[in-house]
Amino acid sequence: MVIVDVEDFEHEKQRIKNENLKIIWHENRNIDGIHAQALHLHPKQIGGGNFIFRLNGT
């Protein structure tokens, strides 16, 4: 499993879409003033591993 913290979530999401990779899960939460987002890519498209991009908390 690879987890990558990113500064610009929307930029990375668009970059993934431009590469025609499938996003299988996207979460966008804002709880108690803390905003967090994450997305998971399809394992078959990236060699069988779990690859997660996330933006945590502001």
pLDDT tens-digit series, residues 8-36: 999 999 999 999 999 999 999 999 988 89
* Enclosing domain of residue 38: 2-55
- Confidence class of residue 57 from pLDDT cuts 50, 70 and 90? low
Written as one letter, the residue type at 48 is G
The pTM assigned to this predicted structure is: 0.77
CATH number for 39: 3.10.180.10
**CA torsion sign, 7 to 8 to 14 to 15?**
negative
Total tally of structural domains belonging to the chain: 1
- Confidence class of residue 47 from pLDDT cuts 50, 70 and 90? confident
